[in-house]
């Protein structure tokens, strides 16, 4: 029985997705080699260097992937809450017993090596949300449903913020896209976008001036809609909320954010020029990518990355190596592969007969998308410098294992789709 | 089917839109904006300039006149300076702590350069260097970089050799080879032979990492250029003779030029007061140069090539030659002299001597009357004074007077042989004649001749009618000297007319005004002169060559404010000939008298007392 089931699994695997995974991981490995290339340790298999270690992570990831594929398909929905609970517990433990690395207490030591529970909490959260929303008795239209779903990802996010890993926490916002797919009003997305714009505006423009501008916009809106009491109340309400938001942002920026966070945001907005401090990473990263030109400097010829001008060039800034050594052509290929992966995930998610699998698929796509958006945006100066890895590419065991687990649970669910009736 | 399944399009659109924005941005910074490429090169590429050593200059016997000596700059990589004992370093460098902090701050403020080496203090002294080397480990971020400075072991011939200095902005604009901080020859041979001496700077492009560690050459050295060593020069100057001349001329103002007649090679060229050329090297130059420029005795001024003196009686030789060539006199022509030349109301006085005077005797006794008559006859041979004057002037110019030589020294004066235009302007056209300009007959008046021209004129007589353009460099390593120096130049006076003049000069030394220049068995020929000096005591002049046949050396000696030519200039010339031809001077009393003599104007306070290297 078990044999027949695993044979079926291998037959039903979506090999396109698996292939994309393998291609990205391999490209990542070669780019890590180029980024930390060391004349004295030329072998790419040398485990004293991070490229050798990355190979270890890749091989172990493949074992993990295989293990997931042979697990019974029913396992994941069944144990979703258990896993979620376990990881929430682990996240809390880390706050008290974690190892501090570069100012954030998000690592936990297990024997000789360290892992980052925040990375693994992503798949558990994804499973829990899928489990909750796929319950037949749940009505998504109800506010309580939305709030509980939001709480499922907000709780780990908040714990991670307490670990001082703001970047990792930010990724949990990606579940909003999943909720949108399941019926959340599109206005929430628009509101989110407006809030981001207002946030930027609030920091760039004096809040008094901004309030007047908002009032004028509100006044002008009556040229397009009919002036009725009802409409007037709505416009007034939105105006009031916006102004309140602007003042809140301003207050929060001054009183809540840490100095280094403020600096990063100011540098990003162009309010501060600091080529040696907060702006150094981004500036060097943009020099690396920008100097790549159309076809790049060639493999192992990137001076910016090879000679350590870009900090963290094998982890958070791995895309610099792509941009510098492979140029615009290479950057387009890598980003193109990610788009293919994301579209493939949407296609696969949509063909699922089980709501659980579909939601899980969208969760996976959204998490990868958010990582991509923030990571690449950061290297080209469009997003603040928050340390989150580029999926499949960046050096690091926790990150690679986490994305492997996330991805192959979906491969397993997808392969299992015919055995689910509803 | 799911109620919201159309939303997959919205979500796909969000994914595609954001990645498209990224790609546009990446395209912009990679393909459209070039500044990132420049910034990357600015980060990782270092243009290492390899300065070749400047060529060495030897004297004619292979003694080193100029070579290069190591100098040390204290360099700093500002970002590497951490936790150093500032006070200790300040003590070694002899600067205040405030000064130290200001300098470091200034270097740190430069954009992107905090990992680049910058000069913190240039040319630290050898003692400072030694102290620093011992303690270098205590000052991370600092290191010492070697370069070279010119060194003059014999401290001789500064005017001929010249000096080097940093290029200025104007020069960098006119010549793109030079860059900030480069050295260039600014005077003398250093300037005229700048290109062979400097060689060719090499550039090596190396890649460095963020810690400024070298990581190999850029694109396998495709853009590198190798440096070419500066070529050495062999000067025609005889260092022994030059040094000896400088000793004789100490505490005197004037100039000496000695030429080897057969080649036109300058054996000695000195201008007094002289100075130790080491005083104008590197850091010392900044301190000493302004003092020297201000000094009233003008030690930097090369009198040998730039000072114009009236030739005085030595010029009578020119008129003796021209007179014969023009046929107005011959060897047996006689003129009477009754204490001078009298014409109308004009008298050019002469000392008492036997009369009448023939050509040879006129030279021996330096008779003014003889030359006034000769000069008058040359000009009056022609129907118009102006025509006669032009003929005379052309003859004079053919002796190398009144114009610059193609000499390989950059600072040279052309001297002055007055023109018709000048007299026309001064007296009115047609309103002057031989008598008006009669002072030219005896080398006074408007005539201006440099010591170099005078020595060359003496060479012309020694050679009986020709010369090579005088020059101080006889050989350039791996090359030849310019053909201008190997072209024989003839005067307009026939060979035969020189013999009585040479005999006359020989008699000057045997029985005439220059007896003091007598040198045992050597057949010295000479002529004394006294240049009238409207500002004070007359200048003493002597020209001579020896031996009479196949001459080896021709000399011109000028001593300012020294009176009659025989008193100072003639013995100096004689001693120098002895030094050159015998290599040993056996007249210690005369030597001592000359060396001890101080003929400086009373007020002058000679520079050597103020500038000690
Ligand atoms: Zn006389």
pLDDT computed for residue B613 by the predictor = 38
pLDDT computed for residue A112 by the predictor = 58
> How much is the average pLDDT of B412-434?
88
Q: Which of A291, A320, A344, A365 best tests the B interface by mutation, with the highest count of B CBs <10 A?
A: A291
> How much is the average pLDDT of A359-374?
95
Q: Estimate to the nearest angstrom the gap between the alpha carbon of B35 and the chain centroid.
A: 48
Q: How far is A387 from chain B (nearest CA, A)?
A: 18
Q: Which one is predicted more confidently, B602 or B454?
A: B454
Kindly list the domain boundaries of chain B, sorted by start residue: 44-235, 239-599
Query: Cβ of A52 under 8 Å from any chain B Cβ?
Result: no
Chain A residues with beta carbon closer than 8 angstroms to that of B209: 306-309
> Per the CATH hierarchy, to which homologous superfamily does domain B44-235 belong?
Penicillin-binding protein 2a (Domain 2) (3.90.1310.10)
SS3 B535: coil
Structure token digits, residue B481? 């000297």
User: Would strands B233-235 and B57-58 be described as parallel, antiparallel, or unpaired?
Assistant: parallel
**Residue B611 reports pLDDT greater than 50:** no
pLDDT computed for residue B562 by the predictor = 83
pLDDT tier at A19, thresholds 50, 70, 90: very high
Interface of A with B in 275-304 (CB under 8 A): 275-276, 284, 286-294, 303-304
Neighbours of B289 (CB within 10 A): 16
Rounded Cα gap, residues B116 and B137, in angstroms: 19
Going from the Cα of B352 to the center of ligand 1, the distance in angstroms, rounded, reads 7
Query: Cβ of A319 under 8 Å from any chain B Cβ?
Result: no
Rounded Cα gap, residues A62 and A21, in angstroms: 11
pLDDT one-digit tens code per residue, B19-39: 999 999 999 999 999 889 888
For residues A268 and A286, the answer to whether their CB atoms sit within 8 Å is: no
Chain B residues with beta carbon closer than 8 angstroms to that of A351: none
Rounded Cα gap, residues B491 and B399, in angstroms: 6
Lowest-confidence region among A196-210, B294-308, B418-432? A196-210
Going from the Cα of B155 to the center of ligand 1, the distance in angstroms, rounded, reads 45
Q: How far is B221 from chain A (nearest CA, A)?
A: 15
Residues 6+ apart with CB under 8 A from A78: none
Most confident of A229-238, B167-176, B455-464, B506-515: B455-464
pLDDT tier at B612, thresholds 50, 70, 90: very low
Structure token digits, residue B87? 């006070």
Structure token digits, residue A205? 């423009």
- Tally A–B CB contacts below 8 A: 121
For residues A207 and A191, the answer to whether their CB atoms sit within 8 Å is: no
* B528: phi then psi, degrees, rounded to nearest 5: -85, 160
Lowest-confidence region among B103-117, B228-242, B340-354, B471-485? B103-117
Lowest-confidence region among A217-231, B181-195, B460-474, B528-542? A217-231
**Residue A367 reports pLDDT greater than 60:** yes
Inter-chain residue contact B208 with A307, CB threshold 8 Å: yes
Q: How far is A404 from chain B (nearest CA, A)?
A: 21
Rounded Cα gap, residues B207 and B217, in angstroms: 6
Query: Cβ of A358 under 8 Å from any chain B Cβ?
Result: yes
pLDDT computed for residue A2 by the predictor = 46
Residue of A nearest to B111 (CA): A275
**Residue A152 reports pLDDT greater than 50:** yes
Interface of A with B in 8-47 (CB under 8 A): none
Structure token digits, residue B434? 């031989």
Percent of chain B at pLDDT > 90 equals 50
> Per the CATH hierarchy, to which homologous superfamily does domain B239-599 belong?
DD-peptidase/beta-lactamase superfamily (3.40.710.10)
Q: Chain B residues contacting A, CB < 8 Å?
A: 2-5, 7-8, 10-12, 14-16, 18-19, 21-23, 25-27, 29-31, 33, 35-37, 39-41, 43-45, 111-112, 114, 207-211, 215
Chain B residues with beta carbon closer than 8 angstroms to that of A375: none
Query: Cβ of A363 under 8 Å from any chain B Cβ?
Result: no
Rounded Cα gap, residues B185 and B398, in angstroms: 32
Inter-chain residue contact B44 with A303, CB threshold 8 Å: yes
pLDDT tier at B463, thresholds 50, 70, 90: very high
Chain B residues with beta carbon closer than 8 angstroms to that of A290: 29-30, 33, 35-37, 39-40
pLDDT tier at A391, thresholds 50, 70, 90: very high
Q: How far is A95 from chain B (nearest CA, A)?
A: 34
SS3 B231: coil
Going from the Cα of B375 to the center of ligand 1, the distance in angstroms, rounded, reads 14
Query: Cβ of A342 under 8 Å from any chain B Cβ?
Result: yes
Q: Which one is predicted more confidently, B216 or A419?
A: B216
Percent of chain B at pLDDT > 70 equals 96
Sheet holding B525-531, edge to edge: B265-272, B254-260, B553-559, B539-546, B525-531
Place of tokens 């003694």: B63
Structure token digits, residue A338? 């990610």
Structure token digits, residue A349? 């998610």
pLDDT computed for residue A1 by the predictor = 40
Average pLDDT, chain B: 88
Give long-range contacts, CB 8 A cutoff, 24+ apart: A151-159: A152/A84, A152/A125, A152/A128, A153/A125, A153/A129, A155/A88, A156/A87, A156/A88, A156/A91, A156/A118, A156/A121, A156/A125, A159/A88, A159/A91, A159/A92, A159/A95
pLDDT tier at A420, thresholds 50, 70, 90: low
Inter-chain residue contact B11 with A308, CB threshold 8 Å: no
Residue of B nearest to A305 (CA): B209
Interface of A with B in 163-182 (CB under 8 A): 177, 180-182
Residue of A nearest to B19 (CA): A335
pLDDT one-digit tens code per residue, B70-115: 888 888 877 778 778 888 888 888 888 888 888 888 877 765 555 6
For residues A268 and A381, the answer to whether their CB atoms sit within 8 Å is: yes
pLDDT tier at A320, thresholds 50, 70, 90: very high
What pTM value is reported for the model? Answer: 0.69
Q: Which one is predicted more confidently, B547 or B296?
A: B547
ipTM of this predicted structure? 0.91
Q: How far is A286 from chain B (nearest CA, A)?
A: 7
Chain A residues with beta carbon closer than 8 angstroms to that of B25: 380, 382
Going from the Cα of B544 to the center of ligand 1, the distance in angstroms, rounded, reads 22
Q: How far is A343 from chain B (nearest CA, A)?
A: 7
Query: Cβ of A338 under 8 Å from any chain B Cβ?
Result: yes
Inter-chain residue contact A380 with B18, CB threshold 8 Å: no
pLDDT computed for residue A205 by the predictor = 78
pLDDT computed for residue B327 by the predictor = 93
Chain A residues with beta carbon closer than 8 angstroms to that of B37: 290-291, 293
> How much is the average pLDDT of B159-169?
90
Query: Cβ of A373 under 8 Å from any chain B Cβ?
Result: yes
Residue of B nearest to A336 (CA): B19
SS3 A208: helix
pLDDT one-digit tens code per residue, B551-607: 999 999 999 988 776 789 999 999 999 999 999 999 999 999 999 988 887 654 444
Cα B132 to Cα A73, A268, B71, B145, distances in angstroms: 74, 45, 14, 12
**Residue B509 reports pLDDT greater than 60:** yes
Query: Cβ of A390 under 8 Å from any chain B Cβ?
Result: no
Rounded Cα gap, residues A265 and B142, in angstroms: 37
Going from the Cα of B372 to the center of ligand 1, the distance in angstroms, rounded, reads 10
**Residue A422 reports pLDDT greater than 50:** no
Q: Which one is predicted more confidently, B143 or B350?
A: B350
pLDDT computed for residue B302 by the predictor = 93
**Residue A57 reports pLDDT greater than 90:** yes
**Residue B608 reports pLDDT greater than 50:** no
Burial of A118 (0-12, 13-18, 19+ CB in 10 A): buried
**Residue B219 reports pLDDT greater than 50:** yes
Q: Which one is predicted more confidently, A9 or A237?
A: A237
Q: Which one is predicted more confidently, B64 or A211?
A: B64
For residues B238 and B268, the answer to whether their CB atoms sit within 8 Å is: yes
**Residues near ligand 1 ion, CB 5 Å cutoff:** B 337, 350, 367, 369
Peptide bond into B141 cis (omega under 30): no
Chain A residues with beta carbon closer than 8 angstroms to that of B12: 342-343, 346
Q: How far is A308 from chain B (nearest CA, A)?
A: 6
Q: Which one is predicted more confidently, A282 or B535?
A: A282
Q: How far is B51 from chain A (nearest CA, A)?
A: 27
> How much is the average pLDDT of A357-368?
95
pLDDT computed for residue A275 by the predictor = 61
CA dihedral B29, B32, B33, B38 (to 10 degrees): 100
């Amino acid at each position: 029985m078990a044999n027949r089931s695993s044979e079926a699994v291998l037959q039903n695997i979506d090999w396109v997705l698996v292939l994309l995974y393998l291609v990205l991981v391999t490209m990542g490995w070669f780019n890590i080699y180029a980024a930390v290339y060391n004349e004295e340790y030329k072998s790419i298999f040398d485990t004293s260097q991070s490229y050798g270690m990355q190979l270890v992570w890749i091989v172990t990831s493949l074992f993990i992937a295989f293990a997931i594929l042979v697990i019974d398909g029913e396992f994941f929905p069944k144990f979703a809450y258990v896993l979620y609970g376990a990881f929430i517990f682990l996240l809390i433990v880390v706050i008290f017993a974690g190892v501090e690395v570069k100012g954030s207490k998000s690592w936990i030591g297990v024997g000789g090596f360290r892992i980052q529970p925040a990375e693994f909490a992503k798949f558990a959260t994804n499973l829990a949300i899928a489990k909750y929303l796929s319950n037949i008795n749940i009505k998504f239209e109800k506010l309580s449903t939305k709030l509980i779903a939001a709480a499922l990802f907000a709780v780990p996010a908040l714990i991670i913020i307490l670990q001082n890993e703001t970047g990792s926490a930010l990724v949990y916002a990606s579940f909003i896209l999943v909720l949108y797919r399941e019926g959340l009003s599109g206005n929430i997305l628009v509101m989110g976008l407006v809030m981001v714009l207002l946030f930027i505006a609030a920091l760039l423009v004096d809040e008094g001036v901004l309030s007047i501008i908002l009032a004028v916009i509100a006044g002008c809106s009556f040229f397009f809609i009919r002036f009725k009491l009802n409409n007037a109340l709505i416009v007034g309400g939105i105006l009031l909320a916006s102004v309140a938001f602007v003042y809140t942002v301003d207050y929060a920026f001054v009183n809540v954010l840490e100095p280094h966070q403020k600096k990063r945001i100011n540098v990003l907005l162009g309010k501060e020029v600091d080529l040696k401090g907060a702006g150094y990473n981004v500036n060097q990263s943009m020099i690396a990518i920008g100097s790549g030109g159309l076809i790049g400097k060639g493999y192992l010829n990137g001076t910016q990355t090879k000679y350590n001008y870009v900090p963290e060039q094998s982890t958070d800034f791995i895309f610099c190596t792509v941009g510098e050594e492979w140029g615009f052509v290479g950057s387009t290929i890598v980003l193109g592969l990610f788009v293919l992966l994301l579209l493939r995930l949407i296609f696969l998610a949509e063909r699922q007969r089980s709501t659980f699998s579909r939601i899980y698929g969208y969760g996976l796509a959204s998490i990868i998308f958010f990582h991509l958006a923030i990571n690449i945006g950061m290297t080209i100066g469009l997003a603040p410098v928050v340390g989150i890895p580029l999926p499949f590419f960046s050096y690091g065991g926790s990150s690679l294992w986490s994305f492997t687990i996330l991805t192959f649970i979906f491969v397993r669910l997808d392969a299992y789709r015919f055995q689910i009736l509803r | 089917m799911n109620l919201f399944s159309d939303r997959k399009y919205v979500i796909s659109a969000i994914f595609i839109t954001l990645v498209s924005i990224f790609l546009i941005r990446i395209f912009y910074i990679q393909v459209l904006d070039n500044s990132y490429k420049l910034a990357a090169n600015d980060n990782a590429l270092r243009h290492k300039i390899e300065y070749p050593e400047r060529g060495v200059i030897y004297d004619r016997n292979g003694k080193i006149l100029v070579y290069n000596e190591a100098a040390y700059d204290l360099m700093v990589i500002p970002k590497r300076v951490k936790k150093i004992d500032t006070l200790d370093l300040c003590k070694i460098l002899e600067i205040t702590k405030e000064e130290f902090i200001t300098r470091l701050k200034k270097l740190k403020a430069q954009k992107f350069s905090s990992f680049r080496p910058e000069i913190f203090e240039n040319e630290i002294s050898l003692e400072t260097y030694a102290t620093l080397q011992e303690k270098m480990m205590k000052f991370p971020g600092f290191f010492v970089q070697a370069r070279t400075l010119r060194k003059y072991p014999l401290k001789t011939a500064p005017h001929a050799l010249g000096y080097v200095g940093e290029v200025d902005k104007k020069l960098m604009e006119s010549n793109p080879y030079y860059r900030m901080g480069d050295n260039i020859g600014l005077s003398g041979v250093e300037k005229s032979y700048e290109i062979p001496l400097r060689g060719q700077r090499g550039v090596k492009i190396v890649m460095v990492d963020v810690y400024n560690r070298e990581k190999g050459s850029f694109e396998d050295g495709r853009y590198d250029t190798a440096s070419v060593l500066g070529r050495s020069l062999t000067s025609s100057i005889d260092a022994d003779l030059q040094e000896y001349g400088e000793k004789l001329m100490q505490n005197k103002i004037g100039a000496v030029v000695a030429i080897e007649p057969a080649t036109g090679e300058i054996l000695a060229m000195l201008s007094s007061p002289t100075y130790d050329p080491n005083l104008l090297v590197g850091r010392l130059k900044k301190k000493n140069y302004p003092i020297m420029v201000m000094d009233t005795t003008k030690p930097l001024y090369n009198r040998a090539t730039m000072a114009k003196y009236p030739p005085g009686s030595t010029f009578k030789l020119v008129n003796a030659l021209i007179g014969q060539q023009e046929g107005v006199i011959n060897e047996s022509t006689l003129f009477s002299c009754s204490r001078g030349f009298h014409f109308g109301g004009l008298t050019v006085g002469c000392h008492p001597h036997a009369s009448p005077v023939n050509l040879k005797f006129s030279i021996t006794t330096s008779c003014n009357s003889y030359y006034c008559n000769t000069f008058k006859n040359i000009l009056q041979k022609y129907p118009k004074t102006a025509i006669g004057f032009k003929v005379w002037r052309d003859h004079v110019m053919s002796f190398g007077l009144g114009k610059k030589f193609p000499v390989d020294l950059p600072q040279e004066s052309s001297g002055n042989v007055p023109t018709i235009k000048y007299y026309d302007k001064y007296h009115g056209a047609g309103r002057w004649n031989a008598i008006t300009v009669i002072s030219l007959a005896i080398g006074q008046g408007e005539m201006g001749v440099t010591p170099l021209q005078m020595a060359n004129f003496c060479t012309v007589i020694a050679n009986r009618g020709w010369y090579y353009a005088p020059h101080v460099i006889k050989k350039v390593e791996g090359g030849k000297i310019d053909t201008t120096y190997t072209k024989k130049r003839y005067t307009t006076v026939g060979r035969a007319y020189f013999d009585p003049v040479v005999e006359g000069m020989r008699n000057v030394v045997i029985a005439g005004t220059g007896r003091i220049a007598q040198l045992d068995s050597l057949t010295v020929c000479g002529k004394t002169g006294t240049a009238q000096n409207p500002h004070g005591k007359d200048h003493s002049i002597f020209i001579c060559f020896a031996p009479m046949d196949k001459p080896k050396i021709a000399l011109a000696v000028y001593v300012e404010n020294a009176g009659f030519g025989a008193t100072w200039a003639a013995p100096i010339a004689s001693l120098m000939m002895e030094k050159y031809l015998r290599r040993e001077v056996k007249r210690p009393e005369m030597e001592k008298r000359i060396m001890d003599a101080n003929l400086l104007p009373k007020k002058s306070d000679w520079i050597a007392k103020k500038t000690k290297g």
